[in-house]
């Protein structure tokens, strides 16, 4: 089963056009999109599209589906920390048009596999908090802003002060067997080859910053539950610093499609042969 995985396209039209061309020419069975898909929330977008999802993304995928017909891939999508949650309803509109399946905090059975989606990340220095949660406790790294502070584009229904990524993952998966599961995350796991930030030598309040900025909760979850495959993004520079876009935790394969440079990274893999996964830079 040929799969493509992309993440952190950040509304860059050239990246989307390359992705659509690659899908047309190589026709994967599944496409995973791992968040941070929209133009930067804090900048003026110099596009001909007044609404990126409604005017560009949905029409482009509709055209792709019309073109590929029965070869159109199954698409699983989540949003990321740079994607305002107020845009979520438009992604759901795309799901209603059968263009993709929006799977944040959801479980979907697909062929012989079970697909889970989870978009939330640990606290960051950034102000937009729509997709941030405390990780395993209410501790926040130096320089980061608490999830209870900052800005949100919607009013949260749950108690953010006591919500954690760790608890969310327990509720999402319960006692399920994860031997043939795929997790579409936005955050990478902590202290791996996928979460290395360019923070060397930086100090705040006399405290050196941790150069690993992934999720401790996701790291522990992977180690304890051993899903088949986890997909990640978020930390663009990690592969440059570590020289790796993939890692492994006992039996779990971990891939990242985040990429620092102005090109598109596509991770291509077969769910039945993950050892031969490759990253294509376009």
Residue spans of the domains in the chain: they are 2-281
CA distance 130 to 126: 11
**pLDDT band with cut points at 50, 70 and 90 for residue 29:** very high
Which pLDDT value is given to residue 45?
52
Spell out the residues 6+ positions from residue 238 whose beta carbon is closer than 8 angstroms to its own.
Answer: 188, 193, 194, 195, 196, 197, 256, 258
* 56-78 confidence digits (pLDDT tens): 999 999 999 999 999 999 999 99
- What is the model's pTM? 0.96
Sheet containing 229-232, strands listed edge to edge, beginning at the edge strand earlier in sequence: 106-110, 113-118, 181-185, 229-232, 252-256, 246-249
**pLDDT band with cut points at 50, 70 and 90 for residue 49:** confident
Residue 140 has pLDDT above 70, yes or no: yes
CA distance 131 to 165: 11
What is the arithmetic mean of pLDDT over 137-158? Answer: 94
Percentage of residues of the chain with pLDDT beyond 70: 97
Residue 174 has pLDDT above 80, yes or no: yes
| Class for the domain spanning 2-281 | alpha beta
Residue 19 has pLDDT above 80, yes or no: yes
Residue 177 has pLDDT above 70, yes or no: yes
What is the arithmetic mean of pLDDT over 163-186? Answer: 98
Whole-Å CA distances, 53 to 100, 256, 258: 13, 24, 21
Is residue 107 packed enough to be buried (19+ CB in 10 Å), middle (13-18) or exposed (0-12)? Answer: middle
Which pLDDT value is given to residue 48?
67
Which pLDDT value is given to residue 227?
98
Q: What are phi and psi of 199, to 5 degrees?
A: -120, 15
Nearest to 88 by CA among 154, 22, 182: 154
* 211-269 confidence digits (pLDDT tens): 999 999 999 999 999 999 999 999 999 999 999 999 999 999 999 999 999 999 999 99
Percentage of residues of the chain with pLDDT beyond 90: 94
Which pLDDT value is given to residue 110?
96
Q: What are phi and psi of 163, to 5 degrees?
A: -80, 140
Mean pLDDT, the chain, as a whole number? Answer: 95
**pLDDT band with cut points at 50, 70 and 90 for residue 1:** confident
Residue 156 has pLDDT above 90, yes or no: no
What is the arithmetic mean of pLDDT over 88-111? Answer: 98
Which pLDDT value is given to residue 42?
55
Which pLDDT value is given to residue 158?
84
**pLDDT band with cut points at 50, 70 and 90 for residue 43:** low
**pLDDT band with cut points at 50, 70 and 90 for residue 47:** low
CA distance 141 to 232: 21
Residue 46 has pLDDT above 60, yes or no: no
Residue 41 has pLDDT above 70, yes or no: no
């Amino acid at each position: 089963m040929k799969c493509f995985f992309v993440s952190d396209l950040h509304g860059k039209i050239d990246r989307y056009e390359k992705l659509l061309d690659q899908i047309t020419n190589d026709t994967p069975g599944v496409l995973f999109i791992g968040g941070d898909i929209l133009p930067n929330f804090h900048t003026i977008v110099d596009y001909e599209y007044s609404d990126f999802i409604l005017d560009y993304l949905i029409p482009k995928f509709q055209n792709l589906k019309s073109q590929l017909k029965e070869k159109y891939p199954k698409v699983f999508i989540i949003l990321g920390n740079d994607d305002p949650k107020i845009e979520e309803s438009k992604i759901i509109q795309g799901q209603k048009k059968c263009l993709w399946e929006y799977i944040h905090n959801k479980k979907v059975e697909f062929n012989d596999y079970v697909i889970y989606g989870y978009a939330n990340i640990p606290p960051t220095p950034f102000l937009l908090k729509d997709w941030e949660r405390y990780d395993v406790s209410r501790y926040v790294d130096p320089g980061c802003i608490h999830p209870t502070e900052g800005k949100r584009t919607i009013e949260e229904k749950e108690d953010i002060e006591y919500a954690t990524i760790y608890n969310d993952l327990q509720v999402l998966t319960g006692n399920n067997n994860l031997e043939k599961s795929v997790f579409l995350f936005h955050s990478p796991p902590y202290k791996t080859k996928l979460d290395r930030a360019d923070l060397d030598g930086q100090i705040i309040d006399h405290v050196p910053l941790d150069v690993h900025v992934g999720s401790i909760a996701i790291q522990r979850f992977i180690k304890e539950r051993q899903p088949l495959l986890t997909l990640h993004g978020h930390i663009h520079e990690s592969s440059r610093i570590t020289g790796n876009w993939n890692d492994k935790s006992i039996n779990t394969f971990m891939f990242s499609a985040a990429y620092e440079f102005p090109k598109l990274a596509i991770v291509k893999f077969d769910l039945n042969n993950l050892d031969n996964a490759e990253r294509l830079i376009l």
